[in-house]
Structure formats: C-alpha cells, structure tokens
Amino acid sequence: MKNDLPRNDPSYRARLTRTFPLVDTLLAVLLAVGPATLAFGDETPQRIVSVDGALTEIVYALDGADRLAGVDTSSLYPPDTEDLPKVGYKRALSAEGLLSLTPDLVLVTDDAGPPEVLEQIRLAGVQTRMIPDAPTVEGLHAKIDAVADLLGATEAAAEVNEGIDQALAEVAAAMGDHADRPRVLFLLHKGSGNDMAAGRNTAADTVIRLAGGENVLHDAIDGYKPLSTEAALAAAPEVILLTERNFDSLGGLDALLADPALANTPAGRDQRVVVMDGPLLLAFGPRLGDAVAELARGLGTLPPVAVDTAEADLDGTAGRTGSAD
C-alpha cells in the first residue's frame, strides 16, 4: 500500500483502519492498557514478540524466555517455543493477531512484513525494533548485542558471543588446513519447478565456508535466486546440500537425482548429498558453531570424533548428515 501522507496525519490512520477494520479496536484496547504497554522508555520490555527464528534463539540464550509473549512460525528452537502463541510467518504477519498479544516490544529483521502491517504496529505505539541481520560472524555478534541492549543483558551477550567464537575456533583447529575445499551447492528449495539456490551474502554461504567448503554459486549470484538446469550443470558441485524438510518432501535421494541437471553433476554421479536440519543450518544464531561442526562432518572436512560441539546443545535437532543413501 503506497503511503503519501505523514504518519501523524489523521487521514493516514483512517486509511490504515479502513483497510484493516480490527486495527481501530485494537488501538483502543492498547490505549486503555496504559502508557507502559506503548513504550518502555528506561524500563526493559516485559512482553516481547520475536518475529525471527534466530532472534528467538537469542532471547532464550540471553535468559529472556520468560518475557516472550509470542513468536513467529520460523521460531522452532528451542522446543519450548512450541508452547508460545504464534503470530504467523514473518513475511506474512497479521497486525490484529500480533497486537492482540499486547506486546511492548516487537523484534524483527529486514525481511519481516508486509510493510503496512509493521506500520500499523508502530501506529499503535508499540516499539518495533529492526535488528541487523548480516550473515557474518561479526554480524551475528552485532545481532546478539542489539537484542541484549534492549533486554538489559549485555553481560550475558558477552558470554554468548565468546561461546560462539570458541566453538568456531575449536572447529577450525580440528579441521586444520584444507587445500581441497569441497564444492557445495545449497538448494534452499527444490521441487514444484521452483528451484532456489544460495549465492553470496547468505547464511548458507557463510556456514559452507566456515565448514571448509566452497559455495559453487558464491561468485555467480547474490542472495537466494532461481537455479536453471544450465547453471546447475555449469557449477559442477561435488556435494549437494539440502534441508531435512525439503529432502523428505521430495521423497529422498532417488527423487532428488531424478532431475538430470543434478544427476549429471559430480555430486549426483557420486550420490554425495548432505541433509541438515533447516533451522540449525540457516538460522544463523547462537548455535552457529553447532551448524558449522555438523556440516563439516558431512563434508568430510572434520573427522567424526574431532569436536563434540555439534552434540553439546542440539537435543536431536541436527537431522541427518553425510551422504544420503
């Protein structure tokens, strides 16, 4: 929805509430609750809605779980998130459902939306904070620090960041120097004629690099983009990486390699496929060290018993790794 009016213009609010009739009622409810609900000022927020899986993991890691009023459907870890109210998928939020939880803080990343829904939330006076989400180790530290600043948990953030760095250092030391870096193709989505692959500036690209692999599309594309038959063949991956959910929905290895574009790659001919839990691989949160160790084992860049990082905190969520049979 295009907006040509200033946000404080009465007709701007009228336009929003005509489009979403329940918003006016919810605004009245929020205003009746009192100023503490609308802005926390110097107070730390007590009713947080987290609209991103990694942000939710960070809140838990910072011992802020008791302040979570709700999460989005990408928030799958830790398992306790199943008991929290859901506000929908982060790219398809509902203002009515979110405001009904009377949050005093909504945490989002730049892929949350739609924009008009975020605008309604701000119009209601609810603090909405965009948290930086760069898929780098430095970016992860900044993301954790940003959440910690809002929660008043800077000391806890320092410990979490130190733990991530230590886990990554242990994996790197165990891997040693690898002159041969496996060439990896990560498929974000495969099937239904809509194949999406990862290029640079993605969580998958960084995890692959940290695990001792080389993303075959790093130089070719930016972000997640459709993958053509020609591009898959030209990339010549030695390993195909998928999420467990996508691999299972396809029907397994035979179904995956029924696509000639993949079957005729080195990875397809060797049937070298690595399958990982999606939230672990892609969330890019406090479990980054676990994700890197798990993928490194699947790629063969890390001996199976070299580092115990991946077993330390997964609670069975890592899924299957190694060549799929």
Tell me how far apart the alpha carbons of residues 244 and 210 are, in angstroms, rounded to a whole number. Answer: 20
Q: What is the pLDDT of residue 304?
A: 73
127 and 183 inside one domain:
no
Is residue 193 a part of any domain in this protein?
yes
115 and 213 inside one domain:
no
Q: What is the pLDDT of residue 219?
A: 96
Q: What is the pLDDT of residue 42?
A: 57
| Count of the separate structural domains present in the chain | 2
Q: What is the pLDDT of residue 200?
A: 97
- Domain encompassing residue 184: 179-312
Q: What is the pLDDT of residue 324?
A: 52
* Residue 23 identity: V
124 and 183 inside one domain:
no
Per-residue pLDDT in tens (0 to 9) along the chain, 325 residues: 444 444 445 444 444 444 444 444 444 444 444 333 334 455 789 999 999 999 999 999 999 999 999 999 999 999 999 999 999 999 999 999 999 999 999 999 999 999 999 999 999 999 999 999 999 999 999 999 999 999 999 999 999 999 999 999 999 999 988 768 999 999 999 987 789 999 999 999 999 999 999 999 999 999 999 999 899 999 999 999 999 999 999 999 999 999 999 999 999 999 999 999 999 999 999 999 999 999 999 999 998 765 554 444 444 333 454 445 4
Is residue 162 a part of any domain in this protein?
no
Domain boundary (131, 165, 198) is at: 131
Q: How many CB atoms lie within 10 A of CB 232?
A: 25
191 and 286 inside one domain:
yes
Q: What is the dihedral of CA 140, 302, 298, 202, to 10 degrees?
A: 20
Q: What CATH code is carried by the domain that includes residue 281?
A: 3.40.50.1980
188 and 298 inside one domain:
yes
Q: What is the pLDDT of residue 112?
A: 93
Tell me how far apart the alpha carbons of residues 44 and 286 are, in angstroms, rounded to a whole number. Answer: 22
Is residue 120 a part of any domain in this protein?
yes
114 and 198 inside one domain:
no
102 and 187 inside one domain:
no
Is residue 78 a part of any domain in this protein?
yes
Domain boundary (93, 112, 131) is at: 131
pTM score, whole prediction: 0.82
Q: What is the pLDDT of residue 306?
A: 55
Q: What is the pLDDT of residue 43?
A: 78
Tell me how far apart the alpha carbons of residues 180 and 171 are, in angstroms, rounded to a whole number. Answer: 17
106 and 18 inside one domain:
yes
Q: What is the dihedral of CA 257, 260, 262, 268, to 10 degrees?
A: 60
116 and 223 inside one domain:
no
Is residue 277 a part of any domain in this protein?
yes
126 and 183 inside one domain:
no
